[in-house]
Amino acid sequence: MAMTQTLLRVSDTLDRVIDGIGRVTGWCAFALVLVMSSNVLQRYVFHTGSVALQELEWHLMAPICMLGLSYAILKDGHVQVDILYGRFPERLKRLVDLVSCILVVLVVGFLLKLSIPYVLQSYSIGESSPDPGGLSHRWMLKAMLPLGFILLLVQSLAAMLRAVVPIIDPSVAVKSASHTV
């Protein structure tokens, strides 16, 4: 069916976007290791330190967590309870996948709605670190919340499309997302 192939192509495209963002997020983890190593070296070898570098640690942790969340879902790196699911017939698994994707989309939509005003407020007041020598532009850190939720929404929509294809056309075999990228 042309419609199912279109759904799969869209799903694969969304997966590739998330995969690319996940790979970039990996570089944030590398940067975090470098910053933390530098902080430890400064503190214990040179008996000095920088508030800005200490804050940079959690400024790097935010993209790792929020942007890496959708990548973990894509690569099946999230926690699953497979006691019952593993014994389900394939059609029921797809139905469970579809329902869970719909629920994730609803929850993420709600969290997205709550997080945007939070970031806008931080931006409008020019929020910065309360510590002397700390980092400015705290809104950039907080902006990882809606951005992460948007990416989770994109990944959930890709998974939803992939889950709906075998329901529409049972003759189509669909690989899981982690095997397509």
Residue 178 pLDDT exceeds 50 = no
Q: Say which DSSP state 49 is in.
A: -
Two tokens, residue 137: 């532009």
pLDDT at 146: 93
Q: How far apart are CA 30 and CA 12, in angstroms?
A: 27
Q: How far apart are CA 81 and CA 63, in angstroms?
A: 27
Q: Which residues contact 170 (CB under 8 A, 6 or more apart)?
A: 91
Q: How far apart are CA 43 and CA 141, in angstroms?
A: 25
pLDDT at 38: 92
Q: What is the pLDDT of residues 136-156, one digit of tens each?
A: 888 888 898 999 999 999 888
Residue 120 pLDDT exceeds 50 = yes
CB 41 within 8 A of CB 53: no
Q: What is the pLDDT of residues 12-67, one digit of tens each?
A: 888 888 888 888 888 889 999 999 999 999 889 988 888 888 888 888 888 888 88
* Closest of 67, 76, 87 to residue 22, by C-alpha: 67
Query: Please, what is the average pLDDT of the chain?
Result: 84
Please give the average per-residue pLDDT across 101-105, as a whole number. Answer: 89
Q: Say which DSSP state 153 is in.
A: H
Q: How far apart are CA 13 and CA 24, in angstroms?
A: 17
Two tokens, residue 26: 């990996």
Q: What is the pLDDT of residues 75-97, one digit of tens each?
A: 876 666 677 878 888 778 878 88
pTM: 0.80
